[in-house]
Amino acid sequence: MKNIMGIIYTGERDEQLKELTAERAVAAVPLCGRYRLIDFPLSAMVDSGVRNVGVITQKNYHSLMDHLGSGREWDLHGKRSGLAFLPPFLNNNTVGVYSGFLDALHANLNYLRSCKERYVVSTDTHMLFSAKFDELADAHEKSGADITLLYTRDPGVRRNGRGRYIQVEEDGRVSRLEVDPTIPRLPCTYLETFCIRRELLIHLVDEAVSQGHHHLTRELLMDGINTRSLKIMGFENPGRAWYLDSVQAYFDCSMEMLDQDTRNGVFPADRPILTKLRDEMPSRYVSGAVVKNSLIADGCVVEGTVENSILFRGVHIEKGAVVKNSIIFQDGLVQEGAQLQYCILDKQATVLRETRLLAPKSYPIVVAKNLTV
């Protein structure tokens, strides 16, 4: 039994995915036919032996609550521990909306104090990667660090003007940190995931907030690294990582999942990604359907043509409809003879007969939830 608890922060930066996050937190953005972004860190935590996870939410958390429920699908519905949903609330010390992760942790200090685990693994939901948090915690314990940061060398997550980058010395110690540089200079990308002793986290958060700080990375960590007042180590996460900071990045990441090797990296056979179940029947391919290189969830009915696309649960592609290079969320309907190219249809969207929605590869069209085109 690992002595680790988990924190998943789902706040901030919801606006980057535009329509996709108009009514949901980034953590609840659907991915890969049947998942939501939060399924990846949450499943990785459960696989790492974490039995107690706090999900800190900020805004738009209704769909996230609906998705997580009691945590049953992740075996987090137990008596002794489980899933704690931590929405913001107003009291004498907080104003309801957090200006940074540090504020969010501060508002939940009593929750952190009530937990029993020795270590905390904290992560975010803007990045997609396959991680073994138990290995992070082992490395953390072994090195005697105050804080261990998870990082990647995958160049695909580097962005000009955005992101957190670190330099890791040969002995594993983090010597420099930069936040949102115009052009990233440091070689490694911090995955906004760290491990720390729970009591030390409580102490550091309390101390930093009392000094007027709001941000964990750019204030608390930066200070600890620059003054060397904290022993902050780096731990490399092997494999790919994706930074879902735009509709284009979301679209590209989704399409990469059509590649078997990439898919196997994100969905390791021995560490399944768990998600909410819907009891859909198998998908039905009617005579005359043409399907090529596509990921299709259960409950779909395919009568037309689907190529290089991802269909979520309960999608119906009618006869003569042609769907290429597109992503269709849950219960979408593409009527007879309609054509789609480089489109993202949000939940329950309908494309009427003979409608053509053909976008260029560099600018996928997003059709909002419940909309009829």
Partner 1 sequence: MLRKKRCVAMLLAGGQGSRLGILTRHEAKPAVPFGGKYRIIDFPLSNCTNSGIDVVGVLTQYRPLELNAYIASGSPWDLDLVNGGIFVLPPYQTGTTGEWYKGTANAIYQNLAFISQYNPDYVLILSGDHIYKMDYAAMIAHHESHNADATIAVRQVPWDEASRFGIMNTDKEDNIVEFEEKPKHPKSNNASMGVYVFTWEKLRKYLTEDEKDPNSSNDFGKNIIPAMLADGQKLVAYSFNDYWKDVGTIESLWEANMDLLTDAPEIDLHDKKFRVYARNLGMLPQYIAESAQVDNCLITEGCEIHGIVRHSILSSGAAVAEDAQVIDSVIMPGARIEKGAVIRRAIVAENAVVSAGARVGEEEGLIAVVGQDAVVPENAVVTAGEQFGE
Q: Does 297 bind partner 1 (CB under 8 A)?
A: yes
Other CB atoms within 10 Å distance of the CB of residue 367:
22
Q: Does 286 bind partner 1 (CB under 8 A)?
A: yes
By CB under 8 A, the count of residues binding partner 1 is 37
Residue 290: CB minimum distance to partner 1, A: 8
Please give the full DSSP string across 333-367, using - where no structure is assigned: EE-TT-EEESEEE-TT-EE-TT-EEE--TTS-EEE
Long-range contacts of 70-78 (CB under 8 A, 24+ apart): 73/274, 73/275, 73/276, 73/277, 74/42, 74/43, 74/46, 74/274, 75/46, 76/46, 76/51, 76/52, 78/51
* Complex with partner 1: residue 48 or 275, whichever CB lies closer: 275
The Cα–Cα gap between 119 and 243 comes to: 26
Q: Does 353 bind partner 1 (CB under 8 A)?
A: no
Q: Does 352 bind partner 1 (CB under 8 A)?
A: no
Q: Write the binding mask 310 to 339 for partner 1: x where contact by CB under 8 A, - elsewhere.
A: xx----------------------------
Q: Does 260 bind partner 1 (CB under 8 A)?
A: yes
* Complex with partner 1: residue 95 or 290, whichever CB lies closer: 290
Q: Does 285 bind partner 1 (CB under 8 A)?
A: yes
Q: Does 128 bind partner 1 (CB under 8 A)?
A: no
Q: Does 271 bind partner 1 (CB under 8 A)?
A: no
For residues 86, 91, 94, 95, the Cα torsion angle rounded to the nearest 10 degrees is 100
**Residue 330 tokens, joined:** 């849950």
Q: Does 70 bind partner 1 (CB under 8 A)?
A: no
Q: Which stretch binds partner 1 (CB under 8 A): 99-107, 159-167, 183-191, 275-283?
A: 275-283
User: 202 near 117, Cβ under 8 Å?
Assistant: no
Binding footprint of partner 1 on the chain (CB under 8 A)? 32-34, 72-73, 258, 260, 263, 267, 272-275, 277, 279, 281-289, 291-299, 301-302, 310-311
